[in-house]
Amino acid sequence: MRTRHFPAGYPAIVKRVERLGMALICAAIVLVASVLSSNAQARQPASDEVRAAMRVRVLQSELMVAALTCREQARYNTFVRKYEPKLVRSSRVLKTHFETTYGRQGTSRLNAFVTYLANTASTLSIRSGADYCPAARTLFDRLLDPGSQGLDHFALVRTRMWMERDRSPELLQMVEGAQ
């Protein structure tokens, strides 16, 4: 890992948050790699349906953090009501995938994955500073627009942006299933 030099007088808490963010991203690469790899014996990649469900979960985690950070709980609730069938389906796909892949550890691994996403979304919100809430409100506007392109589209775009912004092309490749 490359050492980052901070200017004199740079707040120590900011240094720790930025270093923590990099540690979370590195942990994410390992966690998502293990999540997306199927049964070690079968060595089959995660299905398109599982990758799509993971992208939806990334978006949902980002929106949960935005709702709490920016006091947009009402808009988050509207989002959940609008996309409830898709959110429930995605949740079931992930649950089945984790249970099939990890057996008795499936639930704990799924919980670890969801916790990782929430922690990473929170770290990204802190790093974004004053720009975070206006950007989150714009995202809510677009998702809740009756003419929006749909949840899958937003999930794909947001996951790409999230991973590229944090210089995690490996993680992006895993979630998208590119070769």
- The whole-angstrom separation of Cα 71 and Cα 10 is 29
Tokens 């390992």 map to which residue? 30
pLDDT at 79: 93
165: pLDDT confidence band, cut at 50, 70 and 90? low
What are the tokens at 146?
A: 């009756």
CB-CB contact of 98 with 35 (8 Å): yes
Where are the chain's structural domains?
Answer: 12-171
Residue 172 Cα distances to 14, 96, 150, 164, 167, angstroms: 26, 22, 20, 7, 9
The 10s digit of each residue's pLDDT in 97-106 is 999 988 999 8
Q: What is the pLDDT of residues 77-123, one digit of tens each?
A: 999 999 999 999 999 999 999 999 889 998 998 998 888 888 888 88
What is the chain's length? 179
pTM of the model: 0.68
